[in-house]
Amino acid sequence: MIKRIIAVVAGALALGVASAQAQEVKVGVNLPYTGIGAEFAQLVDRGMELYLKLNADRVKPYKITLIRRDVKDPSGANAKIAVQELLTQDNVDILAGWIYSPNAIASAPIVTAGKKLAVIMNAGTAHITNLSPYYVRTSFSMWHAGYALGEASAKILNAKTAVVGYTDFPPGKDSLAAFKRSFEANGGKVIDEIPMGGAGAVPDFTPFFQRAKDKKPDLFFVFVPAGDHAAAVVKTYAALGMREAGIKLIGPGDITQDTKLQAMGSAAVGLITMHHYHADLDNPENKRFVEAWKKEYGAATTPDFMAVGGYDGMAAIVHVVHALKGKIEVDAALEALKGWKFASPRGPITIDPVTRDIVMNEYLSEAVMKDGRVYQKVIGKIDGVKDACKEQKIGPCAPPAK
């Protein structure tokens, strides 16, 4: 008993000493800093850094230390070890990162056992936030853009029929499911679904597109990885004369990721996409964000939706640190984040108090040529979009049975 009292007193003293010094908050960041995901990790990492740099005054008097760990691949195993050691060795106060969904899914039991706030800055599989009560997502779910695009197709583009062509991998399938559900709920009809090969190599899209053209839909919804796939899609679309046939080419904003868009060049012109962010969004926060980015990382670089995931994630963390006065306790942190509102470069965002997922605007944009570069012109907007998968309790998005 006496021993325990001594331990408690010593602990309290230690705490007192710690709080007297500069209030340091340790954030454990797990990202794939090497391998094929390195490019994405850099975007998220820079987004976080930029927030801390631009808002140095807002962070004070606290000190936020980032402890970075490379998770290497989407296998789940390395991410698990990284998260485990961040919790048990580095004793971090908050966890952040997660590019790949499988890693976020694999880490969930550790996050739950570790009882620390965990901010997901990219991973987009819809049901992830159901897997641990401590997950908060500041990026997006695949359903945000897909579902909003289905609604916009029916209401803004006035389409009645659509054909869907998708790269046969999870984001593609999620996107298809989301689009189809909302398009059909709004009176449209998906008349054909065409899987167009895997994500590994760019296929010859001609047969898929010809099949789509023969069905004579109002819209052709395409989900492919950004970059070479997307460039080939736009070229095939033009070569088959689908625009002349009155078929609009649409997709979620992943296919016009800012970092890949200029390389696609004039081929991208005419693409209509739905997303929560692109670098051409016209709002003061985004102007400041993009300008600071180019100044910091070079005029040739551009932020994109992944960078904004990191930026907003860090904003959420700083908010929690202030709300809790530097003493991060997970339940209080969650309370502080539920309903938290922030003026992000992507427009106003908030965290859904029920699902801990982000609520944000979705922008319908058309790629046009302007001053010799591809520019994304906003032609429509849906405010306050929630993750429809959890909203409607679809499949694994239904809340756990317990």
Partner 1 sequence: MTPAPVDWSEHPAAAAMARRHRLRAWEPIPWVAALAFYFLFPKYLGFGTELLITVLFAISLDLVLGYAGIVTLGQAAFFGAGAYTVGMLAKRGIWNEPITGLILAALVAAAVGLGSGLVLLRTQGLTLLMLTLCTMALLEEAANLAHDYTGGFDGLDSLPIAPLLGRFEFNPLYPTTQYLYVLAVLFVCFVFVRTLIYSPFGQSLTGIRENTLRMHAVGAPVRRRLVLCYALSAAIAGVAGGVWAQANAYVNLGTLGLDRAATVLIILVLGGYGRLYGAFVGAVAYMALSHFLSKIYPTAWQLGLGLLLVVIALFARNGILGIAEAAAHRLRTRATP
Name which position in 106, 271, 334, 397 contacts partner 1 (CB under 8 A): 106
114 is a contact residue toward partner 1 (CB under 8 A): yes
120 is a contact residue toward partner 1 (CB under 8 A): no
Name which position in 7, 9, 15, 75 contacts partner 1 (CB under 8 A): 75
Q: How far is the CB of 114 from partner 1 (least distance, A)?
A: 5
- Cα 99–Cα 75–Cα 330 angle in degrees, nearest 5: 55
Name the residue among 311, 328, 384, 387 with its Cα closest to residue 356: 387
State which of positions 252-291 bind partner 1 (CB under 8 A): none
CB nearer to partner 1: give 114 or 252.
Answer: 114
* Rounded Cα–Cα distance for residues 359 and 352 (Å): 6
* Rounded Cα–Cα distance for residues 379 and 248 (Å): 14
Name which position in 6, 15, 19, 34 contacts partner 1 (CB under 8 A): 34
Dihedral, 293, 295, 299, 300 alpha carbons, nearest 10: -40
65 is a contact residue toward partner 1 (CB under 8 A): no
The amino acid occupying position 88 is T
Q: How far is the CB of 247 from partner 1 (least distance, A)?
A: 29
Q: How far is the CB of 209 from partner 1 (least distance, A)?
A: 24
Q: Which two tokens stand for residue 175?
A: 């996107």
Q: Give the burial class of 76: count Cβ atoms within 10 A of its Cβ; 0-12 exposed, 13-18 middle, 19 or more buried.
A: middle
68 is a contact residue toward partner 1 (CB under 8 A): yes
Instruction: State how beta strands 248-252 and 62-70 pair.
Output: unpaired
170 is a contact residue toward partner 1 (CB under 8 A): yes
105 is a contact residue toward partner 1 (CB under 8 A): yes
CB nearer to partner 1: give 114 or 251.
Answer: 114
69 is a contact residue toward partner 1 (CB under 8 A): yes
Interacting span for partner 1 (CB under 8 A) from 65-73, 136-144, 312-320, 333-341: 65-73
Q: Which two tokens stand for residue 253?
A: 């904003």
Phi and psi for 163 in degrees, rounded to 5? Answer: -110, 140
CB nearer to partner 1: give 111 or 162.
Answer: 111
* Rounded Cα–Cα distance for residues 199 and 209 (Å): 17
77 is a contact residue toward partner 1 (CB under 8 A): yes
351 is a contact residue toward partner 1 (CB under 8 A): no
CB nearer to partner 1: give 117 or 272.
Answer: 117
- Cα 384–Cα 390–Cα 392 angle in degrees, nearest 5: 90
How far is the CA of 378 from the CAs of 256, 361, 400, in angstroms?
Answer: 13, 12, 38
Which residues of the chain form contacts with partner 1 (CB under 8 A)? 31, 33-34, 38, 68-70, 72-77, 80-81, 84-85, 87-89, 101-102, 105-106, 108-110, 112-114, 125, 131, 169-170, 173
